[in-house]
């Protein structure tokens, strides 16, 4: 049996070094917590902070977000990327208003039944907004749990389900908010994927992986890497790049107005590689299928 997780040491470190003043950590408002969780998916904290404040000023409650036009929500999402998240958040707000009178439920099953709420987000909302004793683990936090309890993560010695169970056992009763926050901070600043700082880690004496050999880690990561064709490309050659440029251009189109696909192509000629301009109509169609834009014949607008 592996050792227990050193939660008290983690919380003591967080009290001294944690990022407790992040704006979503100074509130227990479920709406503000949900907005932060959607924004922080695949987006750096420093980038989110000013955009989070601006979004909340524009849409301060589930009710006000629910009645907004989807196009305005996408406009307010500028700078965050992954625009489908904005639509999922919008759909969630409408469901919360229609099904729960604008008050987000705290129970796990009720949360999971809502659009855009997966297992991680449900656990995060329960821990951060309602202070329920849940552990919200993503890939990065499972890495920390694995290192501490099972050792070096290559090869993996525990499944995601096993790591989730061990984390749930480790949450001190009534301390889920700070415990999850501290684990996130440790994974982001000390026990990182590529450059773990074992010498300054507060859990090093209890960690089964410490000290991690950097050369061995680099070799193991290279061996385990399975890059998709899109990930192997320079960013400006990816579909995501084209999607972002198209949506940014449409954000500048006045509300209730449209732009022709031909004009859209002309507008992007200075920012999109010349040999990719012919891809714009097909990418517009893809965005339309995702519900992010609306295309009628040869004109397009934000949905």
Q: Which of 128, 162, 182 is the last residue of a domain?
A: 128
Asked if pLDDT for residue 191 goes beyond 90, the answer is: yes
For residue 26, what pLDDT band results from cuts at 50, 70 and 90?
very high
Stretch 228-249: mean pLDDT: 82
| pTM, to two decimals | 0.88
Tokens of 160: 């995601």
SS3 of 205, please?
coil
pLDDT score at 35 = 98
Asked if pLDDT for residue 228 goes beyond 60, the answer is: no
Stretch 264-285: mean pLDDT: 94
Q: What is the CATH number of the domain that holds 40?
A: 1.10.340.30
For residue 226, what pLDDT band results from cuts at 50, 70 and 90?
low
Tally of CB atoms within 10 A around 227: 8
Percent pLDDT > 70 in the chain is 97
Axis-axis angle for helices 45-58, 30-40 (nearest 10): 140
- pLDDT tens-digit map of 27-66: 999 999 999 999 999 899 999 999 999 999 999 999 999 9
Q: Which of 87, 102, 128 is the last residue of a domain?
A: 128
For residue 229, what pLDDT band results from cuts at 50, 70 and 90?
low
196 located within any domain: no
Instruction: Say if CB 10 and CB 178 are below 8 A apart.
Output: no
For residue 220, what pLDDT band results from cuts at 50, 70 and 90?
confident
286 located within any domain: yes
**Count of domains in the chain?**
2
Asked if pLDDT for residue 76 goes beyond 70, the answer is: yes
Residue showing tokens 């440790």 = 186
Stretch 205-214: mean pLDDT: 95
Percent pLDDT > 90 in the chain is 89
Burial of 176 (0-12, 13-18, 19+ CB in 10 A): buried
Stretch 60-75: mean pLDDT: 97
pLDDT score at 255 = 87
Range of the domain at 291: 235-302
Measure the CA angle with vertex 141, ends 114 and 157; round to 5°.
115
Asked if pLDDT for residue 230 goes beyond 60, the answer is: no
For residue 2, what pLDDT band results from cuts at 50, 70 and 90?
low
Tally of CB atoms within 10 A around 174: 11
Q: What is the CATH number of the domain that holds 267?
A: 1.10.10.10
Q: Which of 128, 151, 179 is the last residue of a domain?
A: 128
Stretch 264-291: mean pLDDT: 94
161 located within any domain: no
Measured CA to CA, the distance from residue 20 to residue 43 in angstroms comes to 19
Asked if pLDDT for residue 80 goes beyond 80, the answer is: yes
Measured CA to CA, the distance from residue 7 to residue 11 in angstroms comes to 6
167 located within any domain: no
DSSP secondary structure code for residue 225 in this structure: -
Tokens of 179: 């415990």
Measured CA to CA, the distance from residue 64 to residue 113 in angstroms comes to 21
100 located within any domain: yes
- pLDDT tens-digit map of 101-146: 999 999 999 999 999 999 999 999 999 999 999 999 999 999 999 9
For residue 199, what pLDDT band results from cuts at 50, 70 and 90?
very high
269 located within any domain: yes
Starting at the edge strand that comes first in sequence, how are the strands of the sheet with 259-260 ordered? 259-260, 299-302, 293-296
Give the end-to-end CA distance of the chain in Å, rounded to a whole number. 54
Cα within 13 Å of Cα(71), Cβ side: 17
pLDDT score at 235 = 86
54 located within any domain: yes
Which residues participate in catalysis according to the annotation? 37
78 located within any domain: yes
């Amino acid at each position: 049996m592996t050792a227990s997780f050193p939660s008290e040491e983690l919380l003591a470190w967080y009290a001294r070094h944690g990022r407790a003043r992040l704006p979503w950590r100074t509130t227990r408002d479920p709406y503000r917590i949900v907005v932060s969780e959607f924004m922080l998916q695949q987006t750096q904290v420093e980038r989110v902070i000013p955009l989070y404040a601006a979004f909340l000023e524009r849409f301060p409650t589930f009710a006000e977000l629910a009645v907004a036009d989807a196009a305005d929500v996408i406009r307010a999402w500028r700078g965050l990327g992954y625009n489908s998240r904005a639509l999922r958040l919008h759909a969630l707000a409408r469901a919360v208003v229609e099904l729960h009178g604008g008050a987000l439920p705290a129970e796990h099953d009720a949360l999971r039944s809502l659009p855009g709420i997966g297992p991680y987000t449900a656990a995060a909302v329960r821990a951060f907004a309602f202070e329920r004793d849940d552990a919200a683990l993503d890939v990065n936090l499972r890495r920390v749990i694995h290192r501490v309890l099972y050792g070096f993560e290559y090869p993996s010695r525990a499944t995601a389900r096993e790591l989730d169970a061990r984390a749930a056992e480790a949450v001190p009763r009534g301390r889920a908010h700070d415990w999850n926050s501290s684990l996130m901070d440790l994974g982001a600043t000390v026990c990182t994927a590529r450059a773990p700082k074992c010498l300054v880690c507060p859990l090093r004496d209890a960690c089964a992986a410490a000290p991690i050999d950097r050369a061995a880690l680099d070799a193991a990561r290279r061996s385990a890497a399975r890059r998709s064709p899109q990930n192997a490309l320079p960013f400006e050659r990816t579909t995501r790049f084209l999607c972002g440029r198209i949506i940014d251009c449409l954000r500048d189109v006045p509300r209730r107005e449209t732009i022709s696909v031909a004009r859209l192509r002309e507008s992007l000629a200075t920012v999109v590689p010349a040999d990719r301009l012919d891809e714009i109509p097909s990418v517009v169609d893809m965005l339309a299928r995702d519900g992010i834009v609306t295309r009628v014949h040869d004109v397009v607008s934000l949905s």
